[in-house]
């Protein structure tokens, strides 16, 4: 029996705490969309799933920063990102969200299932519980008197005064920071997933998938070689999927465990929407279904190590057939940085350009084997010389010719000469060639193959010189134009996965029936358009982009990223509840100091070992700043240090204080110093 190929494609769930930029598109979404659109044309039974990842501490932090509830954050970015995707033509069958009940249900089911199987390890400990607030208190949410130095206000993890490391249960007179009441001790537990127990199974699973990209496979083997550790699957937080077990109040399932299950929830939601609620099982509980995760390289461990393990633990589920992880996209030679606003946001792009040129450019430079670089100049060149000059121009010269000399109808295909046959043969092989590339996830190569068809077509047009034959052999001229129309139709289909909007437009110019996205891929290789078929009047398929537009974008990028670093102080102003008393401030003893010596700590990237003079005292300070400051620049500098910080051992070296420095969003450091010369040891207040 020849059943259709069954495929489930997912793209990484974008985190709903910020907008999307071109890097997102290039790595996980565009390649998946091209792959999916191609398979639909090919007739595969394929479903494309995505959605917003809406849990986790980054969302609650973002909400606190903005002074709103987490729900507002996720609503805002879910809608925004969903809209951006739509406008770029991401053809998800469903775009869900992990905050929906259906996902909470999936998360609970999975958790309970492996919990009931006894897979999870419970690590029990006594922890304070706030009866009024109805929650367990993490270490720092408890304060009390330090048992060692009798100082009040010691935190549950350590005493600021004497520097002792504490357990919260050591505190005398503990107080909950949430309600101000005395908490009670209760037995609590967190659950850990013993990934190591599945190590051999995972290795076996990887061994059976030799077709994976080498970097992904090796990366996984690397993890296995190091030994997989137990990993907590619960945490104390109010935002997320509640742990469905008695005695787990105030605990949620850790996002890293639950987010990937969003693929399943989203598929279930899709099945409900199409009125076949059980249909999701055809994909998720079917060993013949190919489950494919498109992600960026930062996500490999979750999709290629942990998720397969969950599915093995749950049993009866389809395991990922492939994880074609892509590398990263840089921008004008630098890393994209959301915090510094160094990015091209999808919405900004769409305000100035149509979606297809970006899809084209990103597909052409897709970071398949290594990090790629997007530059506006390259974008312009690709648009102007490839989309406009080669592809658009071929279609345009063919169709205008048909209108000018053949009344807008497809001329009859007469006798074929060598050039005609060569062109048609090339066309016949193209669907297979292009398709093979897409199936191997080499989108770049696939697009090149498409463009090669257009290049050959231009050459064919030139060689046939229809502008000459129209005068002395109109029949031969007609054959040429007929073939050019056939090629144009094929190009429309070839374009469809990559340039869906332009493909529709071309389909209309050719006056073809039906939805181009429902055509047969293989039909592109055949002669399809009948003699005498009427064509619509030609229109420009792609427009040129002028220099000044590109220059403006480059300038905008520069000014955005630089001005943002000046205005970023608006970002992290603490909420009123976090403010400290003057007494608290006075506890910190800040002093002027002079650096005497500085050298790198061996075998570390960031650590510097500093000797400083504070008044008449010499101290050693270990500072994590080696990446931004050369040690030889430091001796003699006047700096500000925290003099009464408890000493700590870092990499076996004692650090007796802390150097103050301002840190920018991108991690650049600037040391604090004093305006005028002043004696070492001077107090700062």
Partner RNA sequence: GGCGGUGUAGCUCAGUUGGCUAGAGCAGUGGAAUCAUAAUCCACGAGUCCGGGGUUCAAGUCCCUGCACCGCUACCA
Residues 42-101 that bind RNA (CB under 7 A): none
CB nearer to RNA: pick between 48 and 441: 441
Q: Looking at beta carbons only, is 250 or 355 nearer to RNA? A: 355
Interface stretch with RNA, choices 36-44, 217-225, 529-537, 575-583 (CB under 7 A): 217-225
How many residues of this chain interact with RNA, rule: CB under 7 A? 75
Q: What is the DSSP letter of 118?
A: T
Kindly identify the residues of this chain, within the stretch 400-429, that bind RNA according to CB under 7 A: 400-401, 404
> Closer to RNA at the Cβ: 559 or 673?
673
Q: Which of 116, 276, 285, 369 binds RNA (CB under 7 A)?
A: 369
Residue 663 CB burial class (10 angstroms; 0-12, 13-18, ≥19): exposed
Binders in 138-197 for RNA, by CB under 7 A? none
Among 98, 265, 393, 479, binds RNA (CB under 7 A): 393
Shortest distance in whole angstroms from residue 557 CB to RNA = 17
Residue in 386, 420, 449, 553 binding RNA, rule: CB under 7 A: 386
Residues 458-497 that bind RNA (CB under 7 A): 458-459, 461-463, 465-468
- Helix, strand, coil shares of the chain, percent, nearest 5, are 45, 20, 35
* Spatial separation of the C-alpha atoms in residues 390 and 450, rounded to whole Å: 11
Q: Which residues pair with 29 in a beta bridge?
A: none
CA atoms of 235 and 220, how far apart (whole Å): 26
290-296 and 6-11 strand pairing = parallel
Least distance to RNA from the beta carbon of 35, Å? 18
Shortest separation between residue 382's beta carbon and RNA, angstroms? 7
Phi-psi region of 332 (alpha: psi -120 to 50; beta: other; left: phi over 0): left
Least Cβ distance, residue 163 to RNA (angstroms)? 10
Rounded CA-CA distance 588/180 in Å is 25
Instruction: Please answer whether residues 267 and 8 qualify as being in contact, where contact means their C-beta atoms are separated by less than 8 angstroms.
Output: yes
Among 590, 657, 667, 566, residue whose Cα is nearest residue 626: 667
Q: For the segment 594-653, give every residue that binds RNA (CB under 7 A).
A: 603-607, 621-625, 642, 645, 648, 650-651
Considering the rule CB under 7 A, would residue 522 count as an interface residue with RNA?
Answer: no
Nearer to RNA, 329 or 346 (CB): 329
Q: What is the closest distance, in whole angstroms, from the C-beta atom of residue 127 to RNA in the complex?
A: 21
Instruction: Please state the φ and ψ torsions of residue 543, each to the nearest 5 degrees.
Output: -105, 150
Interaction of residue 529 with RNA, rule CB under 7 A: no
CB of 220 to RNA, least distance (A): 9
Cβ neighbours of residue 28 under 8 Å, at least 6 residues apart?
Answer: 11, 12, 294, 295, 296, 299, 326
**Which member of 396, 479, 488, 512 binds RNA (CB under 7 A)?**
396
Quick check: helix, strand or coil at residue 520? coil
Among 116, 132, 285, 385, interactor with RNA by CB under 7 A? 385
Q: Which of 92, 3, 95, 87 is nearest to 53 (CA)?
A: 95
Nearest-5° Cα angle at 62, 56 to 64: 105
Burial of 91 (0-12, 13-18, 19+ CB in 10 A): middle
Q: Regarding beta strands 658-659 and 234-236, do their DSSP bridges make them parallel or antiparallel, or are they unpaired? A: unpaired
Q: Does 666 bind RNA (CB under 7 A)?
A: no
- Residue 449 touches RNA, criterion: CB under 7 A: no
Which 308-337 positions form the footprint of RNA (CB under 7 A)?
A: 327-328, 335
217: which 2 tokens?
């496979």
For RNA, give the closer residue by CB, 221 or 528.
221
DSSP count for the chain of H helices, then E strands: 23, 28
- The residues in 335-364 that bind RNA, with binding defined as CB under 7 A, are 335, 364
Is residue 379 a contact residue for RNA (CB under 7 A)? Answer: no
**In the range 219-278, which residues lie near RNA by CB under 7 A?**
219, 221-223, 225-226
- The smaller minimum CB distance to RNA, of residues 443 and 516, is found at 443
Contact between 524 and RNA per CB under 7 A: no
Contact yes or no for 234/248 (Cβ under 8 A): yes
Q: x/- binding map, residues 106-135, to RNA, per CB under 7 A? A: ------------------------------
């Amino acid at each position: 029996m020849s059943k259709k190929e069954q495929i489930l494609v997912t793209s990484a769930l974008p985190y709903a705490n910020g907008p999307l930029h071109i890097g997102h598109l290039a790595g996980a979404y565009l390649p998946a969309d091209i792959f999916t659109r191609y398979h639909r044309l090919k007739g595969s039974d394929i479903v494309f799933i995505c959605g917003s990842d809406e849990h986790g501490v980054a969302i609650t932090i973002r909400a606190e920063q903005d002074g709103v509830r987490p729900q507002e954050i996720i609503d805002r970015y879910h809608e925004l990102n969903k809209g951006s995707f739509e406008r770029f033509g991401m053809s998800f069958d469903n775009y869900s969200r992990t905050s929906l009940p259906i996902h909470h249900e999936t998360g609970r089911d999975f958790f309970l299932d492996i919990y009931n199987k006894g897979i999870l390890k419970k690590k029990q400990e006594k922890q304070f519980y706030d009866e009024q607030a109805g929650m367990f208190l993490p270490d720092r949410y408890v304060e009390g008197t330090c048992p060692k130095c009798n100082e009040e206000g010691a935190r549950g993890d350590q005493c600021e005064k004497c520097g002792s490391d504490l357990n919260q249960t050591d505190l005398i007179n503990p107080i909950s920071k949430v309600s101000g009441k005395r908490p009670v001790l209760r037995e609590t537990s967190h659950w850990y997933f013993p990934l190591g127990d599945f190590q051999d199974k995972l290795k076996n699973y990887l061994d059976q998938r030799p077709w994976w990209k080498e970097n992904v496979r090796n990366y996984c083997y690397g993890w296995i070689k190091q030994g997989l550790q137990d990993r907590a699957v619960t945490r104390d937080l109010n935002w997320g999927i509640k742990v469905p077990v008695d005695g787990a109040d105030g605990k949620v399932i850790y996002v890293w465990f639950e987010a990937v299950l969003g693929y399943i929830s989203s598929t279930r939601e899709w099945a409900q929407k199409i009125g076949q609620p059980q249909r999701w099982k055809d994909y998720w509980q079917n060993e013949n279904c190919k489950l494919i995760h498109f992600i960026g390289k930062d996500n490999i461990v979750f999709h290629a190590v942990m998720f397969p393990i969950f599915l093995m633990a749950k049993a009866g589920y389809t395991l990922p057939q492939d994880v074609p992880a892509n590398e990263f996209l840089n921008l004008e030679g630098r890393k994209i940085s959301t915090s510094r606003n160094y990015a091209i946001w999808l919405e900004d792009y769409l305000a100035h350009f149509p979606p297809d040129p970006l899809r084209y450019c990103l597909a052409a430079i897709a970071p398949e084997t290594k990090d790629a670089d997007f530059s506006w100049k390259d974008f312009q060149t690709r648009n102007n010389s490839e989309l406009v000059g080669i592809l658009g121009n071929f279609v345009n010269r063919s169709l205008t010719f048909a209108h000018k000399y053949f009344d807008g109808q497809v001329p009859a295909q007469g006798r074929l000469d060598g050039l005609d046959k060569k062109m048609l043969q090339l066309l016949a092989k193209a669907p297979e060639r292009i398709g093979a590339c897409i199936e191997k996830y080499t989108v770049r190569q696939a697009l090149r193959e498409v463009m090669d068809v257009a290049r050959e077509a231009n050459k064919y047009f030139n060689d046939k010189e229809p502008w000459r034959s129209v005068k002395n052999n109109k029949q031969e001229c007609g054959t040429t134009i007929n073939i050019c129309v056939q090629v144009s139709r094929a190009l429309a289909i070839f374009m469809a996965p990559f340039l869906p909007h332009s493909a529709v437009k071309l389909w209309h110019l050719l006056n073809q029936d039906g939805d181009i996205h429902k055509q047969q891929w293989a039909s592109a290789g055949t002669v399809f358009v009948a003699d005498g078929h009427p064509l619509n009047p030609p229109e420009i398929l792609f427009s040129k982009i002028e220099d000044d537009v590109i220059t403006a974008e480059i300038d905008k990028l520069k000014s955005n990223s630089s001005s943002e670093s000046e205005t970023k102080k608006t970002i992290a102003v603490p909420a009123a509840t976090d403010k400290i008393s003057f007494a608290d401030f006075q506890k910190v003893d800040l002093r002027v100091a002079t650096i005497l010596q500085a050298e790198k700590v061996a075998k570390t990237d960031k650590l510097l070992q500093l000797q400083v003079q504070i008044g008449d005292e010499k101290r050693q300070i270990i500072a994590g700043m080696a990446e931004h400051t050369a040690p030889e620049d430091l001796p003699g500098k006047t700096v500000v240090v925290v003099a009464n910080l408890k000493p700590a051992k870092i990499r076996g070296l004692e650090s007796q204080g802390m150097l103050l420095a301002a840190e920018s969003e991108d991690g650049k450091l600037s040391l604090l110093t004093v305006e005028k010369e002043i004696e070492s040891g001077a107090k700062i207040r």
